[in-house]
Structure 1
Amino acid sequence: MSVLSDVLDLVFRRTMKSPATPAGDSRSLADLIDELLSSKGEISGLVTAQRILDRYAAMNDTEKAAFFGYLADDLDIDHALVESTLEPLWKKPDQRAYDAFMAAVEPRRQELARRLNRVPNATRQLVEMRADLLRLLPPDDPRMRIDCDFRHLFASWFNRGFLVLRRISWESPADILEKIIRYEAVHAISSWEELRRRVAPEDRRCFAFFHPAMPGEPLIFVEVALTKGIASSVQALLSEVHPPLAADQADTAIFYSISNCQPGLAGISFGNSLIKQVVNDLAAELPQLSTFATLSPMPLFSRWLSGQGLSPERLTNPQLLCAAAQYLMSAQRDGGRHYDPVARFHLGNGALVHAVHADADLSERGQRESCGVMTNYLYDLSSIEQNHERFANQRQVNASQQVRTLAQSFQSIGGLQDA
C-alpha cells in the first residue's frame, strides 16, 4: 500500500505540472465539489481536490465566509433521507439498515474533507481552514455547526496514536526553532539567545508533538526545567544567570510553559497525552527524578477578584494567597466548570493543586492577569487517575493541606471583603 501511495502521489504531481493540465478552470467551486464527491478515479479526484484547495487559498475573508455558508447549507444533512432510514433501523436493526442510517446522518461536507485530505499537504490546509472558520464566524452563527464536522474528523486524524513526540534542542532545524519562538504563548521568547537558554542547557528540556501529515509544524510543546525542589518564581527559572545544574543532580521536573501552536486545532486535546508522555520519558531517562510539577499562571485571577468586589492593589501578599487558594478550590463558571482554564486543564489531567506563590511572575502580563501569583500543580504518578476521576465526575478539586488551609482562611482575614 505504501508503494502504491507513492506511485499515485508521483503521478498526481506530474499531472498537476503537465502542460496538458489547463491553467485555469472556469467551473464554479460548487461544480468542482460536486465532481470531487462523485469522482471514482484516484488521480482525477486528486487533481480536482487540489483545484478546490487552491481556489479556497485565493479567497478573501468575505469569500471564505460565503464558502462556509455553502458547506453549512448545500452540503448539510438531508433530513428527509435521515427520517426515511430511521424507521427501517427501528424495525430491523441489521447491518444494512445501520449502514444506510449512518450514511444518511453524515453531512456530505465530511466526505468532502476526507477527499480533500488525500492531497499532499492538505491536512495543514484543512487545519488552516478551520482556523479561518473560528476567526471569521461568531460562536452563535448557524454556520458554525460545520465546526462539529471539523472537530469530529480532527479528533480521529490527530489521535494520540498518530502523534510523534520529539525533543526540541539547540541542534533542531532552524525553522522548527523559529516556530517555537513564534508559538510560545505563556512566557514570550524575545530573542534567539533567550531560546538557547531554554533548550540548550543540560537542565532544560523542550518537547513537542508532531503529526506525520504536518512534519514541520509542532502541534503543542512543553518547556521543562530540571531543578532541585519545586520552583516558586518564573523569573528565577528564566534568569540569564541561573546556575547550571547537572541533569542527574535534579530531583524535580518543572513544566513551566505549555503552548498550543495551531489555532485550527483549538479544542483538540493534546496536553494530557503530552505531559504524561514527557513524564514517562523523563522518568526513564533520569530515574532519580521524584517530583513532577508545574509552575503555572492563573490568567483569570485578577478578573475574578474584581468580580468579588476586591481590589488587588489593596491586598497584602498573605491575603492574595488566601484569595488565590479560594479561587483554585472553588471558583466556577455557569454549568459547574472551573473558572480558570489552566486549572481546568491540569486538574482534568489528574494533577492536584500543590502550592500558590506571591510575586512569582513579575512580568507586566503576570501582574495584570494574576497579580503576580502563580501555582504549582503536582503530578503524582500514583494518584493521577484517581484525581482525574474525582475532578471529571464530581468536580472535586484535589489540593494539598496547605492550599486547603489558605482557602479556609479566605473569609476570616479581617477587612478582606472591604478592601
Structure 2
Amino acid sequence: MLEQLRRLTRRAQGDGALAPLLRSCHHLVSENGQANVYALALDVMERYRQLPAQRREAFFAALATEFSPEPERVLRTATRYAESPTAERLADLTSAVEPPRQELLRRVNRAPGGTAMLLAMRNDLLGLRKSHPELAAVDADFLHLLTSWFNPGFLRLERVDWQSSAALLEKIIKHEAVHEISGWNDLRRRLQPDRRCYAFFHPQLGDEPLIFVEVALVNDMADAVAPLIESEPDAAAASNARTAVFYSISNCQPGLRGVSLGNFLIKKVADQLKTELPQLKTFCTLSPIPGFARWLAQATDDDLKSEWKGALRRVAAWRQQCSNPQADDLQGANKALREDLQSLCARFLVQESHDKLGDPVARFHLDNGARLERINFAADLSRKGIKQSLGLMVNYLYDIGSVEARHQHFVDNKVSHSMAVKRLLKPRS
C-alpha cells in the first residue's frame, strides 16, 4: 500500500498543477519568518482550491510520504531514549515522531480562512479513505489537530431563534439531517417558544454552525415525531413543561467527523434549559434507529439464538408480503407484528451496539451516558423513517446524575436499559 502512495507522489512531482502546490507546502513548513508564513499559507490554500478534484488523491499521497517522520531519526532518538530515558531525550523523541505535515496544517490554520480550508481538505480526504485506506495516518493527523482546535472550551453555545440572521436560518434548513425542514414555515414552527434550537460556533468560522440540536418542551416523553414538528404552537407550554425532548442533532461540518461535539452540546443545552426552566425534570431524546432495517435484512437464523428465530421469520414473511411498506401498513399492523419488531429492535440495540455494524445513533447516546428507555412503534412514518427503521424510534434518557456511571457501563461493554426494554428482550414464541 505504501508503494501505491509513492507512485502517486512521483506522478504528482511531474504534475504542472500539483508540483507548485507541493513546493509551496515545503516552503511553508521550512519558513521561519512569521510574515512569510501568512503569505505562503495563503498561497497553499489558493493552489489547493484550484486543484482539480481528481488530483487531490496525489496531494494527500504526497502528504503521507514526503511529510512523514524520518525513520532513521526516529530509530536513533528512540534508541537514545531507551538507553537513558531523560526528559531531554523524551522531548527529542517527541519531536522526531511528529510528522512534518502536522506543522504544515498548523501553519495553514494561522492564515485567514485557514480553519475552513482545513475542514474542506479533511472532507476531501474522508472521501478518499475508502479507496485509499493507507491514508489513515494523514487523517489521524487532521483528526488530532482538529480535536484540539475544536475543544468545546473554545466554542460558544448560542440559541437560534426567529430573530437570528437569515443566513444562519438558511444553514439550519440546509444542514438538518434527521427530520427534513420543508421550508420557512416548518422552520418557524421549530423555533416557537415551546421549542428550542441551539448551536455550537467556533470563533474562526463566524456564523457557520458546527452542530445544532432541536428541542421540544412538553409534559411527557414523546413517542412520535410528527406531533413535535406539526403540532400547533403553545406559548404557555414552555413555562409549564416538565420534559425536554432532544429530537434532532445535526452536524454541519463533515470535515469534523470523529470530533466529539454532540455530547458536550447535549450537556450544555441541558444545563442552560435547567437554569432557564427549573421545573424541567426529564431530559430525553426521540431518536432514529438508522441501522435497524439494514441489520434486520441481513440477520439470519444462524445470527440469532433459537428464541429469536420465530420473531425473525415472522417479520421476514411480513416484509416479503409487504415489500415496500407505507405508513398505513404500519399503523394498521396487528399487535403481534408490533411486538416482534419492538423485540427485535431491543435485541439489536442491547446486544449489537458495541459492534461496528451496530446503530451509530445508539452508540453515540449510550456512550454519552444515556439509558435506552423505550422503543416506540410507528413513531416516524416519513419515507426515510420507514426505510431506515420501519417507523420505529427510541427514547434515550439522560439522567444527569447518572451520566458518568452509565458511560462507564457502556465502556464495560454493557448497555444501560430500562425494565420496559428488558421485557422486550423476551420474545414471544
Question: TM-score, normalised on structure 1?
Answer: 0.88
The TM-score with structure 2 as length reference comes to 0.86
- Paired residue for 2:371? 352
Q: Give aligned-pair identity as a percent.
A: 44
SS state of the match for residue 209, structure 2?
coil
User: Partner of 2:308 in structure 1?
Assistant: none
The structure in which a higher percent of residues are helix is 2
Q: Which residue of 2 aligns with 1:232?
A: 223
Query: Match of 1:382, SS?
Result: helix
Match of 1:129 among 118, 121, 124: 121
d(CA) in 2 for partners of 1:307 and 1:141? 25
1:42, distance to aligned residue in structure 2 (A): 1.0
Task: Specify the code of the residue in structure 2 equivalent to 1:400.
Answer: S
- CA shift for structure 1 position 26: 12
Q: Give the alignment of 1:13-412 within 5 angstroms.
A: 28-138=20-130, 140-199=132-191, 201-241=192-232, 243-309=234-300, 310=312, 311=315, 313=318, 316-332=337-353, 336=355, 339-392=358-411, 394-408=412-426, 410=427
Superimposed CA distance per residue, residues 313-367 of structure 1 (whole angstroms, 9 cap, x where no aligned partner): 357112211222222211256xx45711111000001000111110100101111
Give me the whole-angstrom Cα distance separating, in 1, the residues matched to 2:364 and 2:30. 43
Instruction: State the number of aligned residues.
Output: 383
Shift of 1:168: 0.6
1:18 is aligned to none
Q: CA RMSD in A?
A: 1.8
Give the Cα–Cα distance (whole angstroms) in 1 for the partners of residues 215 and 27 of structure 2.
50
| 1:28 shift after superposition | 1.9
TM-aligned CA deviation for residue 241 of structure 1:
3.2
CA offset digits 1:233-252 (Å, max 9, x no partner): 10111115355543111000
| C-alpha distance in 2 between matches for 1:124 and 1:139 | 25
**Matched residue SS, 1:170:** coil
Distance 1:329 1:145 in 2: 33
Runs of 5+ consecutive residues of structure 1 not aligned to the other structure: 1-24, 415-419
SS of aligned partner of 2:248: strand
- CA displacement at 1:403 relative to structure 2: 0.8
Conserved in 2, the CA contact under 8 Å of 1:227 and 1:245? no
Q: Which moved more, 1:312-321 or 1:218-227?
A: 312-321
CA positional deviation for 1:81: 0.7
Query: 1:306 is aligned with what amino acid?
Result: A
